[in-house]
Amino acid sequence: MKILVVHEVNYLKKIIYEFQILPEILSMLGHDVTVIDYDDSWETAGNGDRSGLRTRIYVSVHRAYAGASVTVRRPGMIRLPVLSRVSAAITSGIETYRFLRSQSPDAILLYGLPTVGVQTYLAAQKFGVPVIFRSIDVLNQLVPWRALVPPTRLMERYIYNRVNAVATVTLHLKKHILSYGVPESRVRVLPSGVDTTMFSPGPRNTAVLEKWGIGAADPVILFMGTIYTFSGLDRVFSEFPRVLARHSAAKLLIVGCGDDEERLKTLAAQLGLTGNVIFGGLQSYADLPGIIRSCDVCINPFELNGITNDILPTKLFQYLACGKPVVATELPGTLPFLTGEQHGMIYCPLESFADCIADLLDDSQRRERLGRSGIQTTTSKYEWTRIAEQMISLIQESISSGLSFESN
């Protein structure tokens, strides 16, 4: 099949997650995949071009898999605050229309909404191309200003009730979609996954740790991913002395980057943790399994809010597939898939995080038992290829039915 993927983040620079993983798996399964993206990182890229309106085309792109080949088409925009989104909404719509007219894809997999959603759907209607919306977040919670929440909700209602199908990552997101009056028969739950051939158990690699000044015998706690203000790391920092009281050589390794990184670096210095909290920065996707294998405990201390309530972080599956125990806060969207210790997870509130971590560092047998449970869970249920095949089936079903939702 020829599949068009549309989103409003930077495919080439965004931390690797489903947006890159799923299209690249689809390409390796023999499908012709093109991505239309949006350069949401333009303000920090140091690009002097302030008004490039031409589409840039990148061929044979791969971020997650060397064997993948995806074409990325990036519509131009006016690189100025506010105007960037407004202009991108126009150029993305034009580029999508042109692509549908000239390339006749079989289906569209749509991730974005406020900037690219409505015009993508309208172009698809013009050319009779089915649209599957992939829901991985409550989109009205991601907008930068509260004034944008009501119009985003209106767009959610409009799109969800008109596309051919909605594939949500969690049951909670399915409930959110259904709240707009969408027929339940058109909403499927397809969770995130993990490549268990890549993310798999293995020995601790001391060379990986040495580059950050971590000793071969130091207990290592890993946080991996985008550093959001709601990541909960500030709470972990404040309680980390309790871990150090029991394991003085413990290191908290943070791999990734994000908006809250500089504030957290300052906080770590203020708390006297610079020798024990290491900011590893953004690492290549290929290096992540080796980093996870070299750690003792992995964490996901997200605070609960309108964004995190419904999500299923891919990093959890990556941790578990490498055989590492995970300490995490309870996210309602995650619990139906990873219910507890039988799946390699220990859930605890943020105020108890330090004690949970220290207890795990004290008990190697428990860590090993949790690790085995995590491996079993991921290999039996959440292999990415299996998830991709389910998405292919949904796309083929949408093509065959040729139906879209009734307007509500």
The string of pLDDT tens digits covering residues 215-268 is 999 999 999 999 999 999 999 999 999 999 999 999 999 999 999 999 999 999
Question: Which of the four pLDDT bands, split at 50, 70 and 90, describes residue 377?
Answer: very high
Q: Which string of DSSP letters, residue by residue, matches 354-372?
A: HHHHHHHHH-HHHHHHHHH
Helix (H) or strand (E) holding 398: helix 384-401
pLDDT at residue 49 tops 60: no
Would you call 187 exposed, middle or buried from its count of C-beta atoms within 10 A (0-12, 13-18, 19+)?
A: buried
The residue among 52, 60, 57 whose CA lies nearest residue 78 is: 52
Given this chain, do its domains 2-193+385-401 and 206-382 carry the same CATH topology? yes
Question: Which of the four pLDDT bands, split at 50, 70 and 90, describes residue 332?
Answer: very high
The pLDDT of residue 408:
45
The pLDDT of residue 403:
53
Q: For residue range 98-156, what is the model confidence (pLDDT) as tens digits?
A: 999 999 999 999 999 999 999 999 999 999 999 999 999 998 888 878 888 999 999 99
CB atoms within 10 A of CB 155: 18
Q: For residue range 268-303, what is the model confidence (pLDDT) as tens digits?
A: 999 999 999 999 999 999 999 999 999 999 999 999
Q: For residue range 73-102, what is the model confidence (pLDDT) as tens digits?
A: 999 999 998 899 999 999 999 999 999 999
- For residues 55 and 35, is the Cβ–Cβ distance under 8 A? no
The pLDDT of residue 168:
98
- This prediction has a pTM of 0.90
47 Cβ neighbours under 8 A, 6+ residues apart: 79
The pLDDT of residue 144:
75
The pLDDT of residue 142:
83
Number of residues written out for the chain: 408
Instruction: Give domain limits for the chain.
Output: 2-193+385-401, 206-382
Provide mean pLDDT across the span 49-59.
Answer: 83
- For residues 376 and 200, is the Cβ–Cβ distance under 8 A? no
Say how far apart CA 404 and CA 125 lie, in whole Å. 10
State the Rg of the chain over Cα: 22
**Share of residues in the chain with pLDDT > 90 (%):** 90
Q: For residue range 16-26, what is the model confidence (pLDDT) as tens digits?
A: 999 999 999 99
The pLDDT of residue 404:
53
Tokens of 230: 């709601």
Question: Which of the four pLDDT bands, split at 50, 70 and 90, describes residue 43?
Answer: confident
Q: What is the SS3 assignment for 296?
A: coil
Say how far apart CA 194 and CA 287 lie, in whole Å. 15
CB atoms within 10 A of CB 139: 21
What's the mean per-residue pLDDT of the chain? 94
Amino acid at site 84: S
Provide mean pLDDT across the span 49-71.
Answer: 90
pLDDT at residue 379 tops 80: yes
The pLDDT of residue 50:
54
Say how far apart CA 141 and CA 151 lie, in whole Å. 12
Helix (H) or strand (E) holding 92: helix 83-103
**Pairing mode, if any, of strands 165-168 and 345-347?**
unpaired
Question: Which of the four pLDDT bands, split at 50, 70 and 90, describes residue 402?
Answer: low
Class of domain 2-193+385-401: alpha beta
pLDDT at residue 178 tops 90: yes
Say how far apart CA 239 and CA 355 lie, in whole Å. 9
- Taking CA atoms, 166 is separated from 12, 103, 105, 108, 110, in Å, by 25, 24, 19, 12, 9
CATH of domain 206-382: 3.40.50.2000
- For residues 81 and 108, is the Cβ–Cβ distance under 8 A? no
